[in-house]
């Protein structure tokens, strides 16, 4: 099942799911007053749904009928980030063989990870804003994993039991800041630097997460084209390793790294500029479109 967060007519962001049983895909407003008592009583936020267990919740939702008033055509719904405020995003650097080859680097012996604040998250269609002093900024299309159960010092053999679902993520990064600091904190944590969406797909909808195409286009030109089969450390290894460094909690996100083709690799470099638009896409997980604007501050 595909889960979304979306804007109701009153401006509130609420959770729902995409239903294709009646033909045209619709977003179902599960907690809308007027639905049956069980549905209307569900918590009105995706974080709580993740904590409840998305696959279990999906099985219950499939058994229920929802009135026409609770259904909005997907084409007309304004989607938000599926998890508007995750606890944290754990990113993986240097995790694609093709990207390492492009940079002339050997694979790391262990995963290289960093933390991105949940406050950097924006949704589909929301603008990435560039402050005048931020320097050169790149896109990074990635497969991301939503954690569904607390994980601490687990091994890779059990890691996939902790996955609630998958989504597309764009790890926008201020390359000049990363280079100047020789660290990821500042360059990865500028406001609006983590577009996510358009939905979370549960594992039964993604039977082969280790063989998904990953793309990014900038102004209609393909800049990245890779496949998760090229990961240096796979999903289970990343989750297990991250869990040895910190607790992973329900609603946390693991960003698995980005393939070759980031901005600096092109001639001329394809740095993000106000007025352009980028689209990140992971096979089966939807296209994540975000315009680039100058900062308002």
Residue-wise pLDDT tens digits, 74-91: 999 999 999 999 999 999
- As a whole number, mean pLDDT of residues 139-149 equals 98
Does 153 score more than 90 pLDDT?
Answer: yes
Give the pLDDT confidence of 245-275 residue by residue, as tens digits: 999 999 999 999 999 999 999 999 999 999 9
- As a whole number, mean pLDDT of residues 93-105 equals 98
- pLDDT level of residue 198 (50, 70, 90 thresholds): very high
Read off the DSSP letter of residue 286.
-
Percent of the chain surpassing pLDDT 90: 95
Taking CA atoms, 246 is separated from 31, 89, 121, 153, 166, in Å, by: 34, 12, 21, 8, 21
Q: What is the pTM of this model?
A: 0.96
Give the pLDDT confidence of 24-70 residue by residue, as tens digits: 899 999 999 989 999 999 999 999 999 999 999 999 999 999 999 99
Computed over every residue of the chain, the mean pLDDT equals 96
3-state secondary structure of 294: strand
DSSP string, 167-234: EEEE--EEHHHHHHHTSSHHHH-STT-EEEEEEEEPGGG-S-GGG-EEEEEETTEEEEEEEGGGBSS-
Write down the pLDDT at residue 297.
64
As a whole number of angstroms, the distance between CA 252 and CA 244 comes to 15
Does 21 score more than 90 pLDDT?
Answer: no
- As a whole number, mean pLDDT of residues 231-240 equals 98
Tokens of 54: 């998305």
Task: Report domain extents, the chain.
Answer: 2-76, 88-294
Instruction: Find how far residue 226's CA is from the centre of its chain.
Output: 17
CATH tag, 88-294: 3.90.850.10
């Amino acid at each position: 099942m595909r889960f979304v967060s979306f804007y109701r007519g009153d401006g509130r962001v609420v959770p729902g799911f995409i239903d294709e049983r009646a033909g045209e895909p619709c977003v179902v407003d599960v907690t809308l007053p007027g639905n049956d008592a069980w549905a209307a009583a569900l918590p009105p936020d995706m974080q709580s749904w993740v904590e409840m267990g998305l696959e279990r919740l999906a099985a219950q939702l499939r058994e229920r009928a929802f009135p026409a008033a609770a259904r909005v055509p997907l084409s007309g719904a304004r989607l938000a980030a599926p998890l508007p405020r995750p606890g944290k995003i754990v990113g993986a650097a240097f995790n694609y063989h093709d990207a390492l080859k492009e940079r002339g680097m050997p694979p790391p012996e262990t995963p290289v990870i960093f933390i991105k604040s949940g406050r950097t998250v924006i949704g589909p269609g929301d603008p990435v804003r560039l402050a005048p002093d931020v320097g050169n900024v790149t896109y990074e299309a990635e497969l991301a994993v939503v954690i569904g159960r607390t994980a601490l010092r687990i091994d890779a053999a059990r890691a996939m039991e902790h996955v609630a679902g998958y989504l597309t993520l764009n790890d926008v990064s201020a390359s000049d800041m990363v280079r100047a600091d020789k660290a990821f904190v500042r360059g990865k944590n500028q406001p609006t630097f983590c577009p996510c969406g358009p939905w979370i797909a549960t594992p039964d909808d993604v039977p082969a997460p280790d063989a998904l195409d990953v793309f990014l286009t900038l102004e209609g030109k393909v800049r990245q084209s890779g496949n998760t089969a090229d990961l240096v450390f796979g999903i289970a290894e990343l989750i297990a390793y991250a869990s040895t460094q910190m607790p992973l909690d329900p609603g946390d996100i693991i960003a698995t790294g980005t393939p070759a083709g980031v901005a600096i690799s092109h001639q001329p470099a394809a740095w993000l500029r106000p007025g352009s638009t980028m689209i990140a896409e992971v096979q089966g997980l939807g296209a994540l479109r975000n315009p680039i604007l100058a900062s308002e501050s």
